[in-house]
Amino acid sequence: GENVEQHPSTLSVQEGDSAVIKCTYSDSASNYFPWYKQELGKGPQLIIDIRSNVGEKKDQRIAVTLNKTAKHFSLHITETQPEDSAVYFCAARNDYKLSFGAGTTVTVRA
């Protein structure tokens, strides 16, 4: 089955700086890669996703890149704000099943 690895497990950044989270996947058949933000006590919220036929996607301060050859994808958050503090999960989907990374706890320091 699919194996998704996510790094780093924790990330502390100064407000206004950028944050980067990286994930690798094992199954070359995976074709959909969503990112979720989870705040304390809430379910994961889809913040951005990318499909295997696209190399990069951007939505305001958030961007995701995908390298299919290397089987890795990354989340980039620019101009971080305190409300970006949360746990972020990457995932890879193959045959309708999502496999998740272990999560990254992002703390934005004011």
Partner 1 sequence: SAVISQKPSRDICQRGTSLTIQCQVDSQVTMMFWYRQQPGQSLTLIATANQGSEATYESGFVIDKFPISRPNLTFSTLTVSNMSPEDSSIYLCSVPGIEAFFGQGTRLTVV
Please report whether residue 108 would count as binding partner 1 according to CB under 8 A.
no
- Provide the minimum distance between the beta carbon of 45 and partner 1 in the complex, in angstroms, as a whole number: 8
Find tokens 């998704």 and name the residue.
Answer: 4
Tokens representing 107?
Answer: 């703390």
Among 26, 32, 94, 107, contact with partner 1 (rule: CB under 8 A): 32
Per the DSSP assignment, residues forming a β-bridge with 4 are 25
Whether omega for the bond prior to residue 8 falls within 30 degrees of 0, making it cis, is yes
**Quick one: DSSP state of residue 16?**
T
Please report whether residue 74 would count as binding partner 1 according to CB under 8 A.
no
| Binding residues vs partner 1 (CB under 8 A) | 32, 34, 36, 41-46, 49, 89, 91, 93, 96-103
